[in-house]
Amino acid sequence: MTYNWQQADWPDFQYNVAKITTALQAFSSEIAEANGMLKSMPQSTRLQSIINTMVAEAIKTSAIEGELLNPRDVVSSVRNRLGLHDNPPIKDKRAKGIGELMVEVRNSYADPLSQQQLFTWHTLLLSQSNHIKTGQWRKGTEPMQVISGAAGRETIHYEAPPADKVPAEMKRYIQWFNDTAPGGRQEISAAPLRAAIAHLYFESIHPFEDGNGRIGRALAEKALSQTAGRPLVLSLSRTIEAARKDYYQALEKAQRSNEVTHWVVYFVNVVLNAQQQAKQLIEHTLQRSKFYDRFKDQLNERQLKAVNKMLDAGPEGFEGGITAKKYISITKASKATATRDLQDLAAIGALVLAGAGRSTHYTLCLDN
């Protein structure tokens, strides 16, 4: 098997831009709409939208690698890094690292890429790991392979360049990243296209002992924001994680050749979908803010706890609506109290009654 970095045209990636013209146009439209929505928001609501997106990215980029994090810990980490204190203590150090990385990537989006910046990101991400050497390129003679399957029946999906080639490869990568930035010698003006190549190129080098996927996705977001000229509010990993198998298959195929049109088409559409989902998340944050403005002074402690649980489900909504049984589970109220609380919420217009008999449930009223 010959991989992309072993071929004579490495890293001269070739692609057919005509295949992504429609998606690029749609992305430009979506990003303009999302930016307009953000600008129209009160500052506190806009900040909450940004925090929600960074938290979603942190949780999902970790989930892609098999790490499940406590959302509350991630929220505390992001808020602490933003200087917003009085947050619950962070129990999971992994959440602390990825949360801090998300804020650092956003804050430094306009900076030229450097080796030191990558080492800083790597240290933030994995400083809690005792067995990983952070803030340096991988070393040693063992091959860096992407493997799946049980012991003795492994499948090798990819093998990266040997460690002794990494410093030179990364020097060339960093130069490419900066040359393709706005105003660079080889500027790539389409943000999703630049992000697609930035991610594939980095993942193909696989320069770190661990954390390459998360750093690589952070680089894709940096490329997007830098090319767009402002920090974008979107979560690539939320979209990727929803169809993780497609992501790995597309990446594996792209690492067989330096003709990468199929990868570019795949990734540009991931970016477009991520931006569309981000717009939905922004809309939900605005609806949530308006909901609280209307009802917060009318809710008792139990009702507020249940409503928060429903709102935390995000744009997708609280699956199946809320029933008296679910309300009891969330609030520990009696059946009579749960029924009364839900009826009161419907009476003030906070919930909408649906179904009848055993199918009776309520949904949030977020339209106004």
For the annotated catalytic residues, the residue numbers are 206
The annotation status of 216 as a binding-site residue, yes or no, is yes
Outline where 108-165 has alpha helix (H): 115-126
H or E element that contains 145: strand 145-148
The annotation status of 217 as a binding-site residue, yes or no, is yes
The annotation status of 4 as a binding-site residue, yes or no, is no
Helices and strands in the chain, H and E counts? 14, 4
Residue 352, strand partner residues: 363
The annotation status of 247 as a binding-site residue, yes or no, is yes
Are 213 and 65 in contact by the 8 Å Cβ rule? The answer is yes
CB atoms within 10 A of CB 229: 11
**Residue at token pair 């340096």:** 136
Are 49 and 86 in contact by the 8 Å Cβ rule? The answer is no
Residue 361, strand partner residues: 354
The annotation status of 211 as a binding-site residue, yes or no, is yes
The annotation status of 256 as a binding-site residue, yes or no, is no
Q: Please state whether 204 falls in left (phi above 0), alpha (psi between -120 and 50) or beta.
A: alpha
The annotation status of 348 as a binding-site residue, yes or no, is no
H or E element that contains 31: helix 21-40
The annotation status of 15 as a binding-site residue, yes or no, is no
Point out the annotated binding site: 210-217, 247-248
Binding-site members for ATP are 210-217, 247-248
